[in-house]
Structure 1
């Protein structure tokens, strides 16, 4: 069947757009080499941003390209715009100069290969980290936070982190779809599974304002692209109750050199995925081994009394809570709602804590520690101007109701507190 002009333009445009997104991300996952290429890629876009971003869109101020855990930064949207431009120019040029139907079939075949492995790579990456419970996890900072104080993304993270079983289930669905993408015969099935999985992921990202909306939309579009050629056969079987003819899933004809390269590349991809799995398992084992090796003063400490120069203090000077969840890191909540981040160093010999602000340039503060009990202590020293005496009591987050509630087959009364 010959492709109409609109189909040719649409397929080439979408294929180019997905490849422009997918190829860099796929290459960046190659150990060692990928890190260097990623640094070069960031530097290239940093050099282009003043022209492609600031000048074209009239954006004032520098556009940061430094990775910050978000795919929804300003530079990402600028990048996607130019990907769309390149894909549109490429589709028009291809439609204008390529006439042979067999050439379009070959181009589509290569697009599908690239999109298959790009999507599989991301689903293995995101899926395995969920399977081993390393993407979301509860910690004292989350248990201390009220719903009103949570960001929408933080609320989603807490919801997912509460249940490692559900998180692993979600990860297994992503891994299952990725495995099926590795074979031409099962690509459509894998794509259909991932459409369901990724539609849910994308909706959560949009509805809870998680800053990976661009990536999740790209992954979902990739799965739709892979399933689209079989949409008529899918409708015949599941909607029209008709039979359908089989499809030729044989490998594209390649020369000897390209054939060997294809086998080597696929074997390398499988080894890379296996390495990811082993790495995630090792990191999970290491995390479990460190479970009891908590930082000094680990937990949530409520301030019972805060005196500055012997006088009780309200407002911004008064501490309300001290949180220590990670080695060398602490957070202080003040009475007026401010949150201050510190590096924390414990001198066990002298029993002192050294707090250094991370977000503001201030001299380190050294506080003497007096332990009244395992869950009670007094800090004395200069947390800011003047000398303070701070009485703190550790909150029992390990026995929080949400962690102790457990599972019940029988519930006479719903528990929705």
Structure 2
């Protein structure tokens, strides 16, 4: 094997690049934020988060102007606040790199500091590989399409929802993806298999990044960050990879992830921290996802109205019938009930609008024959209460008030069948489907 020159002087371009990436990756990985997992530390970190928010907001007002009012990350990771934070981190890294290069210009290399940066980057990638991987192993990240989604015309779906349903349709594919991501995490936390883990991480996270970019999934920034960290770690082994893959020669021994701990307390501390990481990133993830899996697959609360797709045969507002042929955006066209979640084909904004359907949560009371609905399942107040009766097994009659209008609705249950729900698979296919 060709020996590596651990303490050899670095070229000037590498010194400058390291200073920039060290600052940027430290800000991205945010080691202080990880302390929030320790009980009782979260409250102390509120000062850190407040400072970060102030820095991002202030720098945006002075320099970046992403948006006048920044929206904090929510279900989307690509909010205006997230973009302003990215620009702020890049600027801090650039300015810090310049100052560092001036005051530390005689430094020959950063071998030991690079070891610690690569160690943090490895465990950063491993944590999220475990987080997303274990979630997929339980097939919880992308659920199988529900009745509401199956009844939505393909052309009305946004690209992200289409991709989510594509992965959620196949439990096998989702579990396979989860196993690959979890394997990446396992390889990354072992120094001897770290190079293979980084190779796999670059492929896995690049695929996720391309999915997010191609289907407008609002986690683009984070996916790009994970891919970038993977490429940074690969760049640290560029010479080894060049020897092996291009020159077809024996590669130098890897030393990026190896460091001799001379003090006993450091060796013990390393083992303790690694065990704590495995407990947090692996075992706690398994326990939490197992509980989530049980909750998700638990028998739903008993509803006295059958799940299914219902046609709206009669729709009357204030005792005035509105036929289906009349162009009325508030009229109900069909209604779907499924385990406490309902949706209506209507443009009425009293409901939560998604993909040209109005969504709501509902509950029934069999003794009082009451059907209650609210916009979101977490809402404390019901938006409307209807009386109902079931003349036969396929008919539901509702009457009550929505806003200030009196509604009378007759629903007819259909036998609508969705081929996609069959989960078809054929080893032998005589023709294309």
Fold match, TM over 0.5? yes
1:21 Cα deviation (Å)? 1.2
2:332 matches 1:332: no
Aligned match for 1:379, one of 390, 398, 403: 398
Tell me the CA shift for residue 364 of structure 1.
Answer: 3.1
Hey, what's the Cα distance between the residues in 2 that align with 1:413 and 1:107?
Answer: 60
CA distance in 2 between partners of 1:129 and 1:294 (Å): 28
Which deviates the most, 316-325 or 189-198? 316-325
Question: Which residue does the alignment assign to 2:171?
Answer: 164
2:427 match: secondary structure: coil
Q: Distance in 2 between matches of 1:223 and 1:25?
A: 21
Deviation at 1:332, TM superposition (A): 3.0
Select which of 200, 203, 206 maps to 1:199.
206
Look up the match of 1:5.
12
Q: Partners in 2 of 1:302 and 1:33 — Cα distance? A: 54
Q: Deviations over 1:277-317 (max 9, x none)?
A: 12212321332233x54655444433232122142254123
* More moved, 307-316 vs 131-140: 307-316
Tell me, in whole angstroms, the C-alpha distance in 1 between the residues paired with 2:41 and 2:298. 30
Residue in 1 that maps onto 2:123: 117
Q: Structure 1 residues 10-19 or 159-168, which shifts more? A: 10-19
Q: Indicate the residue corresponding to 2:412 in structure 1.
A: 393
Residue 297 of structure 2: aligned partner: 288
The CA distance in 1 between the partners of 2:132 and 2:211, in whole Å, is 15
Select the residue among 403, 406, 409 that pairs with 2:421. Answer: 403
Deviations 1:65-94, CA, capped at 9 Å, x for gaps? 2x4211100000100111111222232333
Which of 339, 361, 365 lines up with 2:384 in the alignment? 365
Report Cα offsets for 1:204-261 as digits up to 9, x if no partner: 1001000000000000111111121222222322232212232345334353333332
What is the CA–CA distance in structure 2 between the aligned matches of 1:87 and 1:69, rounded to whole Å?
28
Task: Say if 1:186 and 1:255 are closer, same or farther in 2 by CA, change over 3 A.
Answer: same
User: Normalization by structure 1: what TM-score?
Assistant: 0.88
* 1:83-94 map, 5 Å: 83-94=89-100
Query: What corresponds to 2:351 in structure 1?
Result: none
The 8 Å contact of residues 301 and 321 in structure 1, kept in 2 or not, is answered as yes
Trace 1:66-81 onto structure 2 (pairs within 5 A). Answer: 67-81=73-87
Which residue in the other structure is 2:333 paired with? 320
Q: Which consecutive unaligned segments of at least 5 residues does structure 2 have?
A: 1-7, 349-354
**Separation of aligned partners in 1, 2:41 and 2:171:** 30
CA distance in 2, matches of 1:321, 1:25: 51
| Residue 410 (structure 1) shift | 0.6
Residue 220 of structure 1 corresponds to which residue in structure 2?
227
Corresponding residue SS for 2:191: coil
Post-superposition shift, 1:156?
0.3
Mapped pair 1:352 → 2:361: no
Greater displacement, 6-15 / 266-275: 6-15
Q: Number of paired residues?
A: 410
1:151 aligns with 2:158: yes
| Range with bigger deviation, 232-241 or 78-87 | 232-241
Contact 1:71 1:212 in 2 (8 A): yes
In 2, Cα distance between equivalents of 1:244 and 1:204: 34
Alpha-carbon distance in 2 for matches of 1:131, 1:243: 37
Which range moved further: 270-279 or 29-38?
29-38
The CA distance in 1 between the partners of 2:148 and 2:309, in whole Å, is 7
Kindly provide the CA deviation profile for residues 157-191 of structure 1, in whole angstroms up to 9, marking residues without a partner as x.
11011001100111111111111110122111101
| Alignment partner, residue 20 of structure 1 | 27
Distance 1:235 1:160, change over 3 A: same
Shift of 1:196: 1.0
CA distance in 2, matches of 1:307, 1:226: 65
> Taking structure 1 as reference, are residues 299 and 87 closer, same or farther at Cα in structure 2, changes over 3 Å only?
farther
RMSD: 2.9
